[in-house]
Amino acid sequence: MVPELILGSWLTIGNGISEKEGFSLMDAALDQGINFFDTADVYNKGGAETQIGIWLKTKSRSQVMVATKAFGQMSDSPLDKGLSLRHLMNACKASLERLQTDYIDLYQCHRYDVDTPLEETCFAMNSLINKGWIRYWGVSQWSAVQITNAVRICEKHNWPKPISNQPIYNMLNRSLETEVMTVCETEGLGLITYSPLAQGLLSGKYSSADVPEGSRAKDPVMGKMFPLKRLTEDNFRIIEQLKQIASDLNVTMSVLCLAWLLRKKPVSGVIFGATKLEQLTENCKASGLIFANDVFEKIESILSNHPKDQYTGNLVGHGIIQKGY
């Protein structure tokens, strides 16, 4: 069981904002009912985990869930990356030390490792669970085939199966709907999606290629990862139309985008980042917000980007029922 909204830490906690601001954000999140915090070892090379760990020591551990990830290179050594048994054991131990905790609630494969046999990765996760270092394991940005293969391997050996997938998903990036979303529901993996606002592009702040002052794209730290390629006239046209829908519903763009994602089965929760308390408070309004069907239809007509079959051009993806040929 996870909350609909999950506080992420990429580019923010331990990096783009001060320690005091990070602690205030996490305190406020917990007060709002957000008891799930997502991070990764590569976020500021352990900086995010370290700050979360300091904060976590002041809380009741059993009442807070922490998810972290491993895969990315943590040093110049070629041994210090990937999903091998050796690296996952070392990486998990290091994450536990930074987080100042005895266990990790959800340990995720940050990406798929083509250099390590999948069976070895599944065995490593089984070993970490048996050691008591992690409670559950999941994946991030894996394909439908990779997820299915991992589930079959775990079933064959009676190892714990992955319980979650953390893919990118937002109104401008819907590739998840093509195959992965259905496979996750079929195989019993919950989806905790990230980048719901396309790193702020869907927040409504951006209306042209001119980046506004005070935005994430303008920030010297966080702006380095901003998807400038999405600053297109087509996207600005979409955003302006979405703003009108948000205005008609008397909600902000952020709330509209988050609520749209939360109504997509089998999405379990949506990870969002924040740099200010006002942003966190505003985003929490998306939880429990229900739209009428005609609102979804209007949004679909504006986006006009639902995945399509490569042969027929028909809409495909989760929730689309194909009839005949």
Residue 317 lies in a domain: no
107 annotated active-site: no
Residue 311 lies in a domain: no
Buried b vs exposed e over 104-139: b needs ≥16 C-beta within 10 Å? bbbbbbbbbbeebebebbbbbbbbbbeeebbebbbb
Q: Which helix (H) or strand (E) holds 271?
A: strand 267-272
Domain that residue 180 falls in: 5-303
The one catalytic residue in 43, 136, 169, 194 is: 43
Residue 312 lies in a domain: no
Half-sphere exposure in the Cβ direction for 58 (13 Å, CA): 9
Q: Which helix (H) or strand (E) holds 120?
A: helix 118-131
CB 182 within 8 A of CB 157: no
Side chain identity, residue 126: N
Number of domains in the chain: 1
In DSSP notation, 31-54 reads HTT--EEE--TTGGGGHHHHHHHH
CB 138 within 8 A of CB 161: no
- Looking at the chain, the whole-number percentage of residues with pLDDT higher than 70 is 87
Q: Which helix (H) or strand (E) holds 135?
A: strand 134-139
pLDDT at 212: 64
Could you give phi then psi for residue 7, rounded to 5 degrees?
-85, 120
pLDDT at 323: 43
Residue 233 lies in a domain: yes
The mean pLDDT values, 10 residues at a time, for the chain of 325 residues are 96 93 97 97 97 98 98 94 98 98 98 96 98 98 95 98 97 90 95 94 76 63 63 89 96 96 92 95 92 91 79 60 43
d(C-alpha 186, C-alpha 19), whole Å: 41
Residue 37 lies in a domain: yes
CB 71 within 8 A of CB 81: yes
Residue 320 lies in a domain: no
d(C-alpha 65, C-alpha 2), whole Å: 9
Residue 269 lies in a domain: yes
Tell me the CATH number at 183: 3.20.20.100
Residue 222 lies in a domain: yes
